[in-house]
């Protein structure tokens, strides 16, 4: 018994020693090592992030800096990402590039970075609604511009039919969106409808934007030759998106459909599988990639789709971080978007952007 007791007290003593050792460690001065930039992504497993990583590594080579690219195992692993951010802050990097899984969970870390004078660059979706001044700049897709590119491509394909439209026999172009709340989807909805509106009006016709997203509305449908309508699913669930898509496809005088994200694309594909018919001559433009969408584009079912440019997202994030670390002024960068259709999607520089 004596042995047992003393061994317990001994271990307790050892624990106390360890804790004091750890605290003693605090006092030691930090070594001056190579300075580097931390890049904390939302995950690894999607091809999207692999391409972001390639981009950031290329920037590191071009700009001659060291980077450490890391990320949690999945997009629900918030605690892992917070631990990573804490650990990176402790390493005193020159700057941190961050695609936060949740803004709320990193607020104290952002404050700490600001206190330590470590600039934080947002990339991809960045750190939405972060307190003013705590994110130096963002490297992300300008969703309005990207969707505008989709409007231009669709307009090229339907230009002749649009020109023939009159108030008496109007035509319809529909945007299908999965929600009216997320910044990326609403940005694309606005971007597409306003660019299409401008193109139609620029051709000397009357146009209107109406539908489920009031912020996009313009003009009066009753007196327009071209009606641009926005349809938002009841919920982002695939069943509700499929129902919404069925309704969209059954509209009369339909010329084109823009699908603002993969959820909308999957809704249309499910509706077609369930028996809906894509009327002849209707041009469909999608957004993002994914297996179903890629197949629809390569088979010619869709006119084409818009993809973000993850390589540039990674590249520009590191480039902004280097600038910010050098004390230069930085501003948000649009990392651009690319159009892909059956003719170019096999080209290597496009193919690498088409993540599943």
Considering the rule CB under 8 A, would residue 220 count as an interface residue with another protein? Answer: no
Considering the rule CB under 8 A, would residue 80 count as an interface residue with another protein? Answer: yes
The residue within the footprint of another protein, chosen from 61, 131, 250, 356 (CB under 8 A), is 131
Considering the rule CB under 8 A, would residue 234 count as an interface residue with another protein? Answer: no
Sign of CA dihedral 339, 344, 345, 351: negative
Quote the least distance from Cβ 141 to another protein, whole Å.
Answer: 24
Residue at token pair 């394909």: 157
- The number of beta carbons lying within 10 Å of the beta carbon of residue 146 is 27
Distance from C-alpha of 350 to C-alpha of 134, rounded to nearest angstrom: 34
Cross-strand pairs, 288: none
Instruction: Indicate the SS3 state at residue 63.
Output: helix
The residue within the footprint of another protein, chosen from 68, 145, 240, 262 (CB under 8 A), is 68
Quote the least distance from Cβ 96 to another protein, whole Å.
Answer: 13
The residue within the footprint of another protein, chosen from 54, 63, 77, 278 (CB under 8 A), is 77
- Which stretches within the chain are classed as H helix? 2-27, 47-63, 78-90, 107-116, 143-163, 183-202, 238-249, 262-273, 291-298, 310-325, 348-351
The distance between the two most distant Cα atoms of the chain, rounded to a whole number of Å, is 101
Considering the rule CB under 8 A, would residue 314 count as an interface residue with another protein? Answer: no
Considering the rule CB under 8 A, would residue 117 count as an interface residue with another protein? Answer: no
Considering the rule CB under 8 A, would residue 8 count as an interface residue with another protein? Answer: yes
Considering the rule CB under 8 A, would residue 61 count as an interface residue with another protein? Answer: no
Question: Which CB atom, from 18 or from 163, has the smaller least distance to another protein?
Answer: 18
Q: How many residues bind another protein (CB under 8 A)?
A: 46
The residue within the footprint of another protein, chosen from 71, 219, 233, 314 (CB under 8 A), is 71
Considering the rule CB under 8 A, would residue 58 count as an interface residue with another protein? Answer: no
- Which stretches within 168-237 are classed as H helix? 183-202
Specify burial of residue 45 (Cβ count, 10 A radius: 0-12, 13-18, 19+).
exposed
Q: Write down the number of H helices and E strands in the chain.
A: 11, 13
Which residues, including other chains, have CB under 8 Å from residue 223's CB and lie 6 or more apart?
Answer: 167, 206, 208
Quote the least distance from Cβ 23 to another protein, whole Å.
Answer: 7
Sign of CA dihedral 258, 261, 265, 271: negative
CB 177 within 8 A of CB 189: yes
Task: Pick the stretch among 105-113, 190-198, 275-283, 291-299 that binds another protein (CB under 8 A).
Answer: 105-113
Quote the least distance from Cβ 38 to another protein, whole Å.
Answer: 9
The residue within the footprint of another protein, chosen from 52, 59, 65, 84 (CB under 8 A), is 84
Question: Which CB atom, from 134 or from 253, has the smaller least distance to another protein?
Answer: 134
Question: Which CB atom, from 77 or from 157, has the smaller least distance to another protein?
Answer: 77
The residue within the footprint of another protein, chosen from 86, 239, 326, 343 (CB under 8 A), is 86
Distance from C-alpha of 342 to C-alpha of 296, rounded to nearest angstrom: 9
Distance from C-alpha of 98 to C-alpha of 85, rounded to nearest angstrom: 9
Considering the rule CB under 8 A, would residue 88 count as an interface residue with another protein? Answer: yes
Question: Which CB atom, from 88 or from 212, has the smaller least distance to another protein?
Answer: 88
Report the site for another protein in 320-349 (rule: CB under 8 A). Answer: none
List interacting residues with another protein (CB under 8 A).
Answer: 3-4, 7-8, 11-12, 14-15, 18, 21-23, 25-26, 28, 30-31, 33, 68, 70-73, 76-80, 82-84, 86-92, 101-102, 104-105, 107-108, 111, 131
């Amino acid at each position: 018994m004596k042995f047992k007791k003393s061994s317990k007290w001994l271990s307790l003593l050892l624990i106390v020693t360890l804790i004091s050792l750890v605290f003693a460690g605090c006092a030691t001065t930090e070594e001056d090592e190579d300075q580097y930039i931390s890049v904390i992504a939302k995950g690894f497993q999607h091809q999207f992030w692999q391409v972001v990583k390639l981009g950031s590594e290329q920037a590191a080579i071009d700009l001659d800096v060291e980077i450490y690219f890391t990320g949690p195992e999945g997009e629900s692993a918030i605690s892992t990402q917070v631990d990573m951010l804490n650990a990176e802050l402790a390493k005193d990097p020159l700057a941190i590039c961050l695609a936060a899984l949740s803004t709320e969970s990193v607020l104290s870390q952002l404050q700490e970075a600001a206190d330590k004078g470590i600039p934080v660059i947002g990339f991809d979706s960045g750190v939405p609604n972060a307190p003013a001044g705590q994110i130096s700049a963002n490297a992300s897709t300008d969703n309005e511009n990207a969707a505008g590119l989709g409007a231009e491509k669709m307009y090229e394909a339907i230009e002749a039919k649009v020109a023939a439209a009159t108030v008496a026999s109007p035509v319809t172009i529909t945007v299908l969106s999965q929600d009216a709340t997320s910044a990326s989807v609403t940005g694309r909805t606005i971007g597409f409808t306003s660019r299409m509106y401008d193109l139609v009006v620029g051709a000397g016709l009357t146009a209107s934007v109406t539908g489920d997203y009031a912020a996009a509305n313009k003009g009066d449908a009753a007196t327009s030759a071209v009606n641009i309508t926005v349809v938002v699913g009841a919920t982002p669930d695939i069943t509700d998106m499929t129902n919404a898509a069925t309704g969209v496809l059954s509209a009369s005088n339909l010329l084109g459909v823009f699908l603002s994200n993969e959820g909308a694309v999957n809704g249309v594909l499910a509706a077609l599988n369930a028996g809906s018919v894509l009327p002849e001559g209707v041009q469909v433009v999608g957004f993002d990639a994914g297996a179903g969408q890629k197949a629809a584009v390569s088979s010619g079912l869709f006119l084409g789709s818009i993809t973000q440019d993850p390589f540039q997202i990674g590249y520009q994030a590191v480039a902004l971080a280097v600038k910010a670390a050098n004390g230069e002024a930085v501003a948000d960068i649009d990392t651009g978007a690319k159009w892909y259709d059956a003719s170019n999607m096999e080209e290597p520089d496009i193919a690498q952007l088409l993540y599943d």
